[in-house]
Structure 1
Amino acid sequence: MLSVQQLQINGRRDDLLPATSLQVRPGELLLVAGEGQDQRTALALALSGRMKPSNGILSWDNTTKTKKIRRASALVDSPGVNEPEQHLSVRDLVTEDLSLIPRRYRGALLSKPWLKVNSFEDIAGLWIEQLPAGRRLELLTALALADPATDLLVIDTPDRHSADPAAWLPRLQALASDDGRPLAVVAVVAALPDNWTGPAAVIGNSVSHPPEPEAQPATSEPKAKHAAEPVPETPETPEIPQEAETPAAPTAAEPESQDLQRTAK
């Protein structure tokens, strides 16, 4: 299982990747939405062990070692990183990608028999830029899986080649649900398809926000009442002379207090 907790990558000014958390199991397809291409590519690089995060925890099968995560994962079609060059033919791309597979797994993997076994003979002579979005994704994911050590697929923005999810979503679902080789598949996309009801996450879903200040109207209202309290006191001041007429009793009582003092003595 791929587990990510508050993964974050610093940028020059703002975060290249704001804190993000997610998890995906073998046999599962997870879609992660992000607005900016830089953020999407940074997440794809980090999930596949190609970029070291600044903060957070990334683990695959209970290991956090970047080398093992990178060995078990394949980064697919990341713009500006490993997307195929447009001037390459399909045949040349296959030859180039198969040469990157570790020798112990490579065997006699040549482009011509590989294209035939994987049913890509019909597009062997085309340029990469001529491929429809769906066929392009089929080719690139098949090349990624030519390495038997690959258990985690990370696809960077497959929806940039077509606005129609039918061009890429069924292929990724089929790869994740393949009983013969269950894969953990993560697709970082610009937007979630409208009809998607499967596992999903959003870049920046673990960013902590400061608490909002208390609403001011609740505190300002009592202050207005308190400020109004001294106003009624002004009409009460004329009543003081009326109460002052009663001291006649104390003056009369003064002898009593003097007598009590003499008696006490």
Structure 2
Amino acid sequence: MLTTHQLHIDGRHHTLLPATTLEALRGDLLLVQAGGQSRRTALALALTGRMKPSTGTVAMGHEGSMATLRRRSAIIDAPEVNAPEHHLTVRSLASEDLALVPLKFRDRTRPTEWLVRHGFRDILDKWVEEVDSGRLLHLQLELALADSCVDLVVIDSPDRHTANTDAWLPLLTRLATGELGRGADASSETPLRPLIVVAVVGSIPSDWNGPTAVAGEDIAGGVADGEADGDGSEDADDQAGQDTGGVGLESSSRPSDPGPQAASGLPDTVSEETVSLPTTGMGDDVEPTAGSGVVLERTSDPEES
């Protein structure tokens, strides 16, 4: 079980995340509503141990270590953090993501073979921007599950790509129940892998009757101070994001030119140890790709690669 208690993050000039208390159970999909992209991304980073809270706690089970939480979690499709770059091919994306998984936690299948095995043969050589948003999300989820150590998956704003919830809601439900990650040729005897799954969304779908939470509220429904006075509005949050450089991370498309925000825009709550930039070739099927995005925490030993 994932739990937070009064999880709160200060931005440079505004509250980035008001105090939030929630819990998510293994096998269930929890939808958390948060206003503004900066707030949603900050919450996703905090839930996976990749952004240090100003106050409050986040823990998985009885383990309160942030390092352990990072190791056992994956963040999916966070804008300006690890959302797939449009200039990559699907094969390149898979090569880079698989190379970031420590060898002891994955098999050594070549990226092309891995894509075929998991049912993505038809999009091998497509550009990321050519792939349907639902299919691209499916690919990112399968790549996250290539790491056998992952027990928690947090998806950042899956509803920003389309108003059609059928493109992502059933997929995330299957992820929580353990039906994903077994490969397209999995038999009925292949064991399920239920996970803790949290989707941070702009609004809760009207037809969703599963577990929900709201940023700035506790489990009982109380509103945090920042929300009560309007600090949690979309406009206020977006302004906070501008003042802090989004969530304090410069756009990953320009790693060689970090700009002024990278030097001075980081909120005090961001832990520099949790973010690293890929600087070498990632797979055995493709050449190294420059500017492929910020990658969080799961870095492989150069000797293993």
Amino acid at match of 1:105: F
Amino acid at match of 2:194: P
Closer/same/farther in 2, CA of residues 15 and 139 from structure 1, 3 Å limit: same
Amino acid at match of 1:180: L
The 5 A counterparts of 1:165-244 are 165-178=165-178, 180-206=192-218, 207-208=224-225
The reply on whether 1:40 has 2:52 as its aligned counterpart is no
In 2, Cα distance between equivalents of 1:82 and 1:210? 28
In 2, Cα distance between equivalents of 1:95 and 1:181? 23
Residue 141 of structure 1 is matched in structure 2 by 141
Amino acid at match of 1:54: S
Residue 12 of structure 1 is matched in structure 2 by 12
In 2, Cα distance between equivalents of 1:173 and 1:107? 26
- Higher helix content, 1 or 2: 1
Partner deviation per Cα, 1:170-212 (whole Å, 9 max, x = no partner): 000011112710100000001111101100011111414899x
Residue 2 of structure 1 is matched in structure 2 by 2
Return the TM-score normalized by structure 1.
0.77
Gaps of 5+ in 2: 179-190, 219-223, 229-305
The 5 A counterparts of 1:82-161 are 82-161=82-161
Residue 296 of structure 2 is matched in structure 1 by none
CA contact 1:31–1:188 (8 Å) conserved in 2: yes
Matched position secondary structure for 2:15? coil
In 2, Cα distance between equivalents of 1:182 and 1:75? 17
Partner deviation per Cα, 1:72-112 (whole Å, 9 max, x = no partner): 10000100000111100000000010000012123323111
In 2, Cα distance between equivalents of 1:210 and 1:157? 20
CA contact 2:8–2:20 (8 Å) conserved in 1: yes
In 1, Cα distance between equivalents of 2:130 and 2:163? 17
Partner deviation per Cα, 1:133-164 (whole Å, 9 max, x = no partner): 11011000000000000010000001111111
Amino acid at match of 2:92: D
Gaps of 5+ in 1: 212-265
In 2, Cα distance between equivalents of 1:18 and 1:160? 22
> How many residues end up aligned between the 2 structures?
212
In 2, Cα distance between equivalents of 1:209 and 1:92? 42
**Cα distance, 1:61 vs structure 2:** 1.4
CA contact 1:31–1:200 (8 Å) conserved in 2: yes
In 2, Cα distance between equivalents of 1:172 and 1:61? 21
Matched position secondary structure for 1:194? coil
Matched position secondary structure for 1:18? strand
In 2, Cα distance between equivalents of 1:106 and 1:209? 43
In 2, Cα distance between equivalents of 1:24 and 1:108? 32
Residue 81 of structure 2 is matched in structure 1 by 81
Q: 136-145 vs 199-208, which deviates more?
A: 199-208
**Cα distance, 1:130 vs structure 2:** 1.0
Closer/same/farther in 2, CA of residues 71 and 210 from structure 1, 3 Å limit: closer
CA contact 2:157–2:199 (8 Å) conserved in 1: yes
In 2, Cα distance between equivalents of 1:164 and 1:60? 31
* Root-mean-square deviation (Å): 1.7
CA contact 1:98–1:109 (8 Å) conserved in 2: no
CA contact 1:76–1:83 (8 Å) conserved in 2: yes
Identity of aligned residues (%): 49
CA contact 2:151–2:196 (8 Å) conserved in 1: yes
